[in-house]
Amino acid sequence: MRRFALAAAALLFLATSAFAAQGGSPFETAHQLFEVGHFAQAAEALQAAIRAEPSNAGLYYWLGRCYFELRNFDQASAQEEKAVKLDGQNSDYHLWLGRAYGHLADSRHSLWLGIKTRKEFEEAVELNPKNIPARRDLTQFYTTAPWIVGGSRKKAQEQIAAIAALDPIQGALAQAEYDHQTGNLAATEAEYQKVLAGPTATVLEYYEIADFYAAQNNAAMLQKAVDGVLRIAPSDPRLSYYRGVILTIEGQNLSEAETYLKSYLASTVDRSGYPQHSDARTWLGHVYEKLGRRLEAAEQYRAALEINPDSSFAKQSLKRLEKQVN
């Protein structure tokens, strides 16, 4: 969930306020635990709240969000299904149910779950046409999914146009993501550079661009995206990750790169909206490779895969290292 951590936090604050007005102390506890990344404990608090209010759709929604952060997508989808059953008119409930289905569809290579993913995203957009996160997820689905489950580049372009009408920067990012996924890197960079040249991007928008340039091993453009964050949020905890990545790509000050990446791992929880800890460990492995410390590099790649077994970044890095050793 690369784009929506701040929006999610705002929604969580509003939900917390609503429950607080009802004297919902178990939810308040869950909110505090969720905010500091204690997702398992937050889930326990929400389960206690559900025992008191078994018909409260919002509690199931946030319980599903906890399981999503814990990468338990079976439980995430089960809880979001309950939220949707109790309140089928909430756009965000459908969005997060679609996201849970999407992870299950990818891991199980399931066409049926792919169709269910599309239907939830479409419902989220229909219920709230101004829900940009839902439109962006639907755009990504239309772009990347096979036609048999509803993929359609024409529909993707229609969504991009609708997003641009709501928010030009998000429209440019959606177009860039589409161009990247369809193999047009020149057009992708043109859209990202358009955003970087403007004065109004948010922290999350800069980080979205940063992630692209990190994957391209382009330290100079990654630095430009980071500079955008520095102008508006110089103490953001994610900056240590990106500083470490920049130094790793450049191959200079590798001891400083190691310090930044270790600091990021020690000071943040692994959650959506933040660079994954599996990626931080993979970059740390790259640092050790460049320092000639191959055993330590392999340890980091394997640790990354323990966190996220589906990480292609870690898999490819470990495979490359093993070929060099053999």
The pLDDT of residue 325:
76
For residues 96-119, give the mean pLDDT.
Answer: 97
Asked if 172 and 164 count as a contact pair (C-beta separation under 8 A), the reply is yes
Element (H, E) at 233: none
For residues 21-47, give the mean pLDDT.
Answer: 84
pLDDT band at 27 (very low <50, low <70, confident <90, very high): confident
Task: Show the DSSP H helices in 70-108 as ranges.
Answer: 73-86, 91-108
Residue 296 predicted with pLDDT over 60: yes
pLDDT band at 291 (very low <50, low <70, confident <90, very high): very high
226-251, pLDDT tens digit by residue?
A: 999 999 999 999 999 999 999 999 99
pLDDT band at 324 (very low <50, low <70, confident <90, very high): confident
The pLDDT of residue 1:
39
For residues 108-123, give the mean pLDDT.
Answer: 98
For residues 76-91, give the mean pLDDT.
Answer: 98
What is the C-alpha to C-alpha distance for residues 244 and 248, in angstroms, rounded to an integer? Answer: 6
Strand, coil or helix: 44: helix
pLDDT band at 89 (very low <50, low <70, confident <90, very high): very high
Asked if 98 and 121 count as a contact pair (C-beta separation under 8 A), the reply is yes
The pLDDT of residue 54:
97
Q: Name, in order, each residue with C-beta under 8 angstroms of 289's C-beta and a sequence gap of 6 or more.
A: 297, 321
User: pTM, whole model, 2 decimals?
Assistant: 0.90
For residue 244, the one-letter residue type is G
The pLDDT of residue 270:
94
- Residue that the structure tokens 């323990």 belong to: 306
The number of residues in the chain equals: 326
For residues 187-198, give the mean pLDDT.
Answer: 97
For the chain, how far is it from start to end, CA to CA, in angstroms? 37
The pLDDT of residue 25:
65
What is the C-alpha to C-alpha distance for residues 118 and 112, in angstroms, rounded to an integer? Answer: 10
Q: Percentage of the chain with pLDDT > 90?
A: 87
Report CA torsion sign: 43, 47, 52, 57. positive
